[in-house]
Amino acid sequence: MLGYVLKRILWFVPTLFAVTIIGFILLANAPGDPVNLLSNGAKASGNIEEQKTFWRKKLGLDLPLFYFSITTLSEPDTLYKVYDEQQLKIIKKDLKENGGYKNYIPKIIWYGYHNQYHQWLFGGANSKGIIRGDFGISYIKKEPVISIIKDKLIWSVFFSVVSIILAYMISIPIGIKLAEKPNSKSSKITQVTLFLLYSMPSFFVGILLLMLFANPDVISIFPPSGIKPIEGYADGASIFSKFIDSFPYMILPMICYTYSSLAFISKLTATSINEQLSLDYIKTARAKGLSENNIIWKHALKNSALPLITVFSAVFPGIIGGSVIIESIFTIPGMGLETVKAIISKDYPIVIAVITLSSVLTIFSYLLADILYAWVDPRIRNK
């Protein structure tokens, strides 16, 4: 088992690298020079060049982009040291016009590990690198990105994990009911309802829920925004009392997170249990006189767990992505809301950090699914 897990973890390392490269490409291609943004305030005091060099060094932008670069023979090796966009444009134009045949001969320059990507990933003189949780500096707030999203990450992870658990807790019993009496009226109604819910866009449901259940003009049961009482938690409150305090705030968002995956999981439970029920061992169990409940919950469900685990890895990325919508409707101070804010103010490091982090979370959820898979079905780990 341990060997299998290790092998899976090793297998995920290249994927993680690829994800970081995608994140880095996005960051590097974001329009605008962050140095200009960061040294904006220095305009009035006059030491703008000093500020610019400071930030450029701090962000590592004075380094080449990647380990190597493919350019034309006419381009000098140290072109990356020209920072000014206008100047760079002029130089490039000049090269294009006067390069002649050299413009059509490829050249590979090797920079070694003193490059932006390496520094971004593993850290360098001024940063610790994303593998140690340093995602750089926010262009707008000028604070380390990780200190901005650290607390927010917790809420997003909390909501996605709890909503997945909830979705399973609700839809497995429903799925079993559906499998037991596939043709009864109640199960047909359930199926249709679940299908309707499945097609509902979450922003629509979210707004409707707020309009209906947090509105004194209709029914006002739930608080309309935020995630904790206005005064905050009492000092030194235990996790349980915090949970009780936050409970009413969680219900509407939780419904939004959960409802759409119900149809999927319950349908799958129903079909895989149906498959199991037609197998011989169930018949033997029935012949032995075991109760129907016992048969389904103890035997059939255990053996139909495999597809349910697969669903886990399909649902998780959707929920993480969906947090962008749901958090901005219910103003939950989580990662999704922060992403929307960052995108509006073009604060790219935060956006990239969120993407990279949620990808890592997703990869870990796959890993978890794989391990669970192997744990449930020994055949896989021996393969």
Partner 1 sequence: MNFKETYHSYKTLLSKNRALKLCVRVFLIFVCVALLAPFLSNDKPLICKYKGQWLFPAFSFKNQHIISENDIINYNMGNDWKTLNTDFSVFAPCAYSPNTIDAANAPRKSPFDAQEFVSKNNTTTSIPYKFRHWLGTTQNGNDVLSGIIHGTKISLSVGIFSMLIASIIGIILGACAGYFENNSIKIGYVQLLFLLIGIFISYFYCVVVRGSNLAAAFTISNALDILRVFLLLYLSYIVIKCLLKIGNKIDVTLKTDNILNFPLDAIVSRIIEILNSIPSLLLIIALSAITKPSYTLLISIIGFLSWTTIARLTRAEYLKTKQLDYITSSKAIGMSDFAIMRKHILPNVFPIILVQIIFGMAGAVLIEASLSFIGVGIPSNTVSWGSLLNEARDHFSAWWLVVFPGLCVFTLIFIYNRIATEIMGK
Partner 2 sequence: MKFLCYSILILLICCFQIGCKKQQNNTLVVHLLSEPDDMHPTNGASAIRAEINLYTNLSLLRVNYKTGELLPCLAKALPAVSSDGLSYTYEIQDGLSWDDKSHITAADIAFTTKASKCLFTNNPGLKPYWENIKEIKIDGANKQKFTIVMKRPYILNTWFWTDFPIIQEGFYDKNKTLAKYTEAQLTDSTFLKTKADIKQWAEEFNSPKYYTDPNFLSGAGPYKITKWDKGVSITLEKKKNHWSENCQENWYCQANADKIILKLNTNNASAVLELKNGIMDISGMIDYASFTELSHDENFTKNYTLKLADTYNYTYVAMNMKPDGQKHQKLFNDVLVRKAMALLTPYEQINKTLYENHNKRVVCPISPNKIDFNTDLKPVKYNVKKAKELLTQAGWADTDNDQILDKLIDGKKVKFEFAINFISGSKVWEDLAKQLAESMNKANIFAMLNPLDYNGFFSSVTSHEFDMSIGAWQSSATPEDFSQLWSSTAWKGNGLNFTGFGTPQSDALIDSINVSVDEQKRIALSKRFQKLVYDEQPYIFLFTQTRRIIVNKRWDNLEVYTEYPGVLLNTLKLKD
For residue 256, which phi and psi values (nearest 5 degrees)?
A: -60, -40
Contact 148, 337 (CB under 8 A): no
Number of residues that bind partner 2 (CB under 8 A): 49
Could you say which of 193, 225, 291, 294 contacts partner 2 (CB under 8 A)? 225
Bridge partners, residue 137, by sequence: 144
Q: What is the C-alpha separation between 140 and 230, in angstroms, rounded?
A: 27
User: Binding of partner 2 at residue 77 (CB under 8 A)?
Assistant: no
User: Binding of partner 1 at residue 175 (CB under 8 A)?
Assistant: no
* Residue 104, contacted partner among partner 2, partner 1, none, CB below 5-8 A by kind: partner 1
Q: Provide the minimum distance between the beta carbon of 198 and partner 1 in the complex, in angstroms, as a whole number.
A: 7
State the CB neighbour count (10 A cutoff) for residue 350: 26
Q: What is the C-alpha separation between 204 and 212, in angstroms, rounded?
A: 12
Which residues, numbered 9-38, are part of the site for partner 2 (CB under 8 A)? 32, 36-37
Q: Interface with partner 2 by CB under 8 A: which range of 43-51, 58-66, 178-186, 258-266?
A: 43-51
Cβ-based neighbours of 380, under 8 Å, separated by 6 or more:
373, 374
Which residues, numbered 324-343, are part of the site for partner 1 (CB under 8 A)? 324-325, 328-329, 339-340, 343
- Angle, CA of 301, 306 and 310, to the nearest 5°: 130
3-state secondary structure of 335: helix
* Residue 153, contacted partner among partner 2, partner 1, none, CB below 5-8 A by kind: none
* Residue 43, contacted partner among partner 1, partner 2, none, CB below 5-8 A by kind: partner 2
- Based on its alpha-carbon atoms, the radius of gyration of the chain, rounded to whole angstroms, reads 27
User: Binding of partner 1 at residue 320 (CB under 8 A)?
Assistant: yes
Residue 223's identity, in one-letter code, is P
Could you say which of 288, 344, 379, 383 contacts partner 2 (CB under 8 A)? 344
Q: How many residues does the chain have?
A: 383
* Residue 97, contacted partner among partner 2, partner 1, none, CB below 5-8 A by kind: none
Could you say which of 108, 230, 239, 287 contacts partner 2 (CB under 8 A)? 230
Cβ-based neighbours of 159, under 8 Å, separated by 6 or more:
250, 253, 254, 257, 319, 323, 326, 332, 334
Q: Provide the minimum distance between the beta carbon of 283 and partner 2 in the complex, in angstroms, as a whole number.
A: 28
Which residues, numbered 298-317, are part of the site for partner 1 (CB under 8 A)? 317
Q: Interface with partner 1 by CB under 8 A: which range of 21-29, 57-65, 281-289, 301-309?
A: 21-29
Q: What is the C-alpha separation between 47 and 50, in angstroms, rounded?
A: 5
Q: Provide the minimum distance between the beta carbon of 370 and partner 1 in the complex, in angstroms, as a whole number.
A: 12
* Residue 29, contacted partner among partner 1, partner 2, none, CB below 5-8 A by kind: partner 1
Q: What is the C-alpha separation between 365 and 371, in angstroms, rounded?
A: 10
- Angle, CA of 77, 61 and 36, to the nearest 5°: 120
Q: Interface with partner 1 by CB under 8 A: which range of 99-107, 175-183, 230-238, 295-303?
A: 99-107
Q: What is the C-alpha separation between 226 and 200, in angstroms, rounded?
A: 23
User: Binding of partner 2 at residue 85 (CB under 8 A)?
Assistant: no
Q: Identify the sign of the CA torsion 202, 205, 208, 212.
A: negative
Q: What is the C-alpha separation between 158 and 69, in angstroms, rounded?
A: 42
Number of residues that bind partner 1 (CB under 8 A): 53
Please count the CA atoms within 13 angstroms of the CA of 248 that sit on its side-chain side: 13
Alpha carbon distances (Å) from 208 to 142, 193, 199, 201, 205: 37, 17, 15, 11, 5
Nearer to partner 2, 101 or 240 (CB): 240
Could you say which of 44, 108, 239, 287 contacts partner 2 (CB under 8 A)? 44
Strand ranges (DSSP E) for the chain? 68-72, 106-110
State the CB neighbour count (10 A cutoff) for residue 305: 18
User: Binding of partner 2 at residue 98 (CB under 8 A)?
Assistant: no
User: Binding of partner 1 at residue 216 (CB under 8 A)?
Assistant: no
Enumerate binding residues for partner 1 (CB under 8 A): 14-15, 18-19, 22, 26, 29-31, 70-72, 103-104, 106, 195-196, 198-204, 207-208, 210-211, 215, 317-318, 320-322, 324-325, 328-329, 339-340, 343-344, 346, 348, 351-352, 354-355, 358-359, 362-363, 366
* Contacts to partner 2 by CB under 8 A: 32, 36-37, 40-45, 51, 139-141, 143, 148, 151-152, 210, 214-217, 220-232, 245, 247-248, 251, 328-331, 333, 337-338, 344-346
